[in-house]
Amino acid sequence: MLRFNKKDGGTESIKTTNEQWHYIDNHYDVAVLPILLNEGIDFVHADISYLLTDAEMIKQEIDIGEDCFMIGRFVNYDGGSNINKPSMRFSQISITNANIIHPYSKDRNLGYKENQEAIFLDMRARTGYSGSPVFVYRTQGSLFHENLKDNEEQRFLIPYHFMRLLGIQWGIIGDDLSANSFGEEIANANPQNANDLKNMSIVCPAKYILEVLNKEELKQQRDNTNKLLLQQRGL
């Protein structure tokens, strides 16, 4: 069930079936659903260029310690199907290029790849945030410049704004690993330091979302839609 806020207040729900979602077999915990929304829905469109790739991570030197935020809906807070009140959580990237064993890769026949690359955030979360988008951002950078003439260090503030979709949050590492559904699998993947990962959020990198979006069937749908829009605009 997808639930959206409406511009005039209230919410609108859209039912979906498993057959409508697109994914890649033996892949990461990511699926894509093409959807057409009416003008009454209150939403913000993120262009595909906002998805963070490995190349851009290297170019922007994005690594541990980067600021990020997650937008989700904590159902235990607002507690009702007629309320769709988002919440935000802020943190930093703790580990990049982490490997984790997906807990459902063996026993639920869902076609998930067993060993999955993930990004760990130093972000406390609870059940209900799974599937939430996580963004990495910078609001302002600074540059230290040494003037060779008088050997004085000068600081210049440079307006620098950057935001990209880091990925999708798909899991959490609970307080008690022994009682958490991810506990045994995380311990298997990282037996020596499993307890150090408590209260972290697990993020599937955006590049795997992009991989699903670039399936030929979905690319063709986007091309057809773009052609139709251009025709409607007389272009």
The domain limits of the chain are 44-232
Neighbours of 184 (CB within 10 A): 14
Residue 148 CB contacts under 8 Å (≥ 6 apart), including other chains: none
Phi-psi group of 131: left, alpha or beta (phi > 0 → left; psi -120 to 50 → alpha; rest → beta): left
Give the pair of three-digit tokens for residue 2. Answer: 């997808």
Burial class of residue 11 in the structure, from the number of CB atoms within 10 Å of its CB (0-12 exposed, 13-18 middle, 19+ buried): middle
- Residue 205 pLDDT > 80, yes or no? yes
Instruction: Note the pLDDT of residue 172.
Output: 81
**Exposed (0-12), middle (13-18) or buried (19+): which is 76, by Cβ within 10 Å?**
exposed
Is the pLDDT reported for residue 204 higher than 90?
Answer: yes
Task: Summarize pLDDT for 17-51 with one digit per residue, the tens.
Answer: 988 999 887 788 888 998 888 888 888 877 888 99
C-alpha span between 127 and 147 (Å, rounded): 53
pLDDT of 145 above 60:
no
CATH topology of domain 44-232: Thrombin, subunit H (2.40.10)
Q: What is the pLDDT of residue 68?
A: 94
Q: What is the pLDDT of residues 153-180, one digit of tens each?
A: 444 444 457 899 999 998 887 766 654 5
Q: CA 76, 71, 185, 22: dihedral to nearest 10 degrees?
A: 110
User: According to the model, what pLDDT value does residue 182 have?
Assistant: 58
* % of the chain residues with pLDDT over 90: 25
Q: What is the mean pLDDT of residues 74-98?
A: 77
Q: Decide: 170 and 205 in contact? Cβ < 8 Å.
A: no
Give the CA distances from residue 12 to residues 2, 6, 76, 78, in Å, rounded to whole numbers and listed in that order: 8, 7, 19, 16
Mean model confidence pLDDT for the chain? 78
Predicted TM-score (pTM) of this structure: 0.79
For residue 203, give the nearest of 57, 75, 47, 29 by alpha carbon.
29
